[in-house]
Amino acid sequence: MSRRPYIRPVSTTGWWLSEGLYFRYMMRELSSLFIGAFAITLIVGFYRLSQGGIEFEAFTAALLGPVGTVFAIITLVFALYHSYTWFQVTPKAMPIVLAGKRVPGFIIVAAHWVGFAVVTVVVWLLAVAR
């Protein structure tokens, strides 16, 4: 008898395109590409700032130009998706038990969004009110 088990052919590079769940998983993982690129862009900006005014103005001109703006918008979408997915798993990553009862997951997620709003407002005010 032949013993050659059937192995379903699966693409090792494009498997995540076959199903919505896999695609959302990959978008979550790929958010790190845009988040990392944004962080390195800011680090380059600080390096330019440390070099002097002319270097920094050239950097901000590119940042505010069409390419920089498109990159920033894509990056913001991925960053918000990262925040959403990160907060969404917090009830599983750190379940909270109060008085012997498990705190419902949606409350933990909502608390993180409240924290997100507070951080956003405080950092904004810190940067704008100088």
Query: Which chain residues interact with other proteins by CB under 8 A?
Result: 12-13, 16, 26, 29-30, 32-33, 35-36, 38-40, 42-47, 49-50, 52-53, 56-57, 60, 63-64, 68-69, 72-73, 75-76, 79-80, 82-83, 86-87, 112, 115-116, 119-120, 123-124, 126-128, 130
Closest distance between other proteins and the C-beta of residue 81, in Å? 10
Closest distance between other proteins and the C-beta of residue 24, in Å? 13
Closer residue to other proteins, CB minimum distance, 2 or 50? 50
Closer residue to other proteins, CB minimum distance, 68 or 105? 68
Closest distance between other proteins and the C-beta of residue 34, in Å? 9
Are 98 and 107 in contact by the 8 Å Cβ rule? The answer is no
Write the single-letter amino acid at 72.
Answer: A
The first and second tokens of residue 115, run together, are: 């924290």
Question: What does the angle CA 7 – CA 10 – CA 15 come to, to the nearest 5 degrees?
Answer: 155
Q: Enumerate residues 6+ apart whose C-beta is below 8 A from 90.
A: 108, 109, 112
- For helices 66-88 and 20-51, what crossing angle results, to 10°? 130
